[in-house]
Amino acid sequence: MKNLSPHIIIEGKKQYQLGELKVNEIIYDFSKILTYLNSKGKLLFGEKFNIIEEDREIIFKLCNYFIKDEANCKRFNLDTNKGILLSGPVGCGKTSLMKLMRYIVPHIKPYKMIPARNIVFGFNHIGYKTIEDYGNTNYFCFDDLGVEPTGRHFGKDCNVMGEIILSRYDLFLENGIKTHATTNLNAQELEERYGNRVRSRMRELFNLIAFDSAVEDKRK
């Protein structure tokens, strides 16, 4: 059933209005989105969750991408046809933000968050069917891309996530299927991990949004 009020989100007994619905367009209010994300974050991750001032620029870019604000996406050089590669140091909050972003657009098909290491563990157990399973038309966000171990099945090594990225690239070209990911690695490290061919595909597959390398570890 079509959601007639996608700009209004109900969590328990609380209602959050993220903007105004005008004709067939939602005029979003970033301050209201932040209020909702902060509340939803506490529900998902506990009362210690807080959106801090230093992260507002990153969150603003992510929000504009997901709500498809064309003017701001153009300003930030974001292509809404591509996926997001969110990079930054350990503990900066990448995974939490990508888990949260799904909720501000309830009218859009959500992506599944899958740790890259879990995919490799699956490959080690059942083999190449794992790569086929992630080369389908579902939407995924691969978490912690680049730090997963090398796959090994029946004595043969395989760069599992590299192969999956190549499959996802083909899906993107053929059907416009998006892929998202988070990573602790920079561009050079990703190329060393996956090779030039995969890195080249990643440039076409993803918009890069990056935290400052000096951002604090929020887990401490």
DSSP string for 161-181: HHHHHHHHHHHHHHH---EEE
Confidence of residue 1 (pLDDT cuts 50, 70, 90): very low
Best CA proximity match to 182, nearest among 104, 101, 98: 98
Provide the 10 A C-beta neighbour count for residue 128. 14
**Domain boundaries, given as residue ranges, for the chain:** 8-210
pTM (2 d.p.): 0.92
pLDDT for residue 60 is more than 80? yes
The mean of the pLDDT values for the chain is 92
> 91 by DSSP, 3-state: which?
coil
Residues 28 and 18: their CA atoms lie apart, in Å, by 6
Residues 43 and 209: their CA atoms lie apart, in Å, by 25
Q: Are the CB atoms for 9 and 36 separated by under 8 Å?
A: yes
Best CA proximity match to 15, nearest among 36, 44, 46: 36
Of 130-139, 140-149, 203-212, the poorest mean pLDDT is in 130-139
Residues 92 and 164: their CA atoms lie apart, in Å, by 26
pLDDT for residue 110 is more than 80? yes
8-210 sits in which CATH class? alpha beta
